[in-house]
A and B are shown apart, each in its own frame.
Chain A
Amino acid sequence: MNGPHDMGGMHNMGSIPIEEHEPVFHSEWEAKVFAISFATFANYFPVDETRQASELMPPGQYLSSRYYERWLYALELLMTKHNLVTQAEIEDRIAQMAQTDP
């Protein structure tokens, strides 16, 4: 697909964000998104299918996303596509957790 992910040769992406001594994960949610994705690789989704899923993000969203946001997008897309979880279940659980944990 001729999507924004295919960015070799694109211009105007700014300077390279070099961070000295950066942690492996910058926050707990990143670590969890990574771990959940890893735990579902091979068993539920071939790795190439996960790459393909993150490419389906609409271009504007892709180009303003952070790295693990794209992983989350792919994870949700694949989980719902393969009926492991529904969008409604996710939204309900968020609403539930937001109430008990302000």
Chain B
Amino acid sequence: MSSHDPQPHADIALRVKAIESLLIEKGIVDPAALDAIIDAYEHKIGPHNGARIVAKAWVDPEFKQRLLMDGTSAIAELGLTGFSSEHMVVVENTPTVHNLIVCTLCSCYPWAILGLPPTWYKSFAYRSRAVIDPRGVLQEFGLEMPKSVEVRVWDSNADLRYLVLPERPQHTEGMTEDALAALVTRNAMIGTAQVSPPTFSNELADAEVAQ
């Protein structure tokens, strides 16, 4: 990340305001539409969508099979395909295989399922390194991959988007789909984290919600 003094930042904000006002005046964009777009990605669309898919795959083996065979159709069953997630491939982490998703050429990402990507996913450091040193990248995220584990990196260079189905953690037997979904993090669905087993505080929170 480079440092910038405040001046260019103020300049760019003004530039964007100017362009926005011109486009509105010319009837090219509608301000209500701009608000709707921002609202959708700030408040409605996010990794909770992907977490639902993962949780269902964990409890429903037939769904999981469909998901791995044809991600698009299975995800469409839940009504979760959408913009930038029209064509989905789901890849499964196992004790012997770990998957990692990147877009080296820009930052393609399954927005409808995970929301907008985090800064790190869009960074030059991630885009350049994930393909040539995935294990080093995983270490930066605190994930030590044993040498015996196969690492698969998926570079989203075309119109298919990728979702990692993380391994179901231990100590989750009998948990509801909603409770399982609450464990699933965005990073686990990109491949830079694993899903942690529930902690006592998770169980306490669940108990509170159940009341």
Contact = CB atoms under 8 A, between A and B. Distances in A.
Q: Do A's and B's CB atoms come within 8 Å in the complex? A: yes
Interface of A: 5-11, 13-19, 22, 24-25, 27-29, 31-36, 38-40, 44, 51, 54, 63-64, 66-67, 69, 72, 75-76, 79, 84-85, 89-90, 93-94, 96-98, 101
11 contacts: A19-B120, A24-B115, A29-B12, A29-B17, A31-B42, A36-B16, A39-B34, A51-B105, A76-B19, A84-B23, A93-B22
A71 to B, nearest CB: 10
B132 interface: yes
Q: How large is the interface on B (under 10, 10 to 19, 20 to 34, 35 or more residues)?
A: 35 or more
B129 A13 contact: yes
A88 B105 CA distance: 32
Interface of B: 1-2, 4, 9, 12-23, 26, 28-30, 33-35, 37-38, 41-42, 104-107, 115-116, 118-120, 122-129, 131-132, 137, 140-141, 155
Contacts of B35: 35
A15 B14 contact: no
Contacts, number: 144
B1 A36 contact: no
B20 A9 contact: no
A89 B22 contact: yes
B106 A54 contact: yes
B38 A8 contact: no
Contacts of B14: 94, 97-98, 101
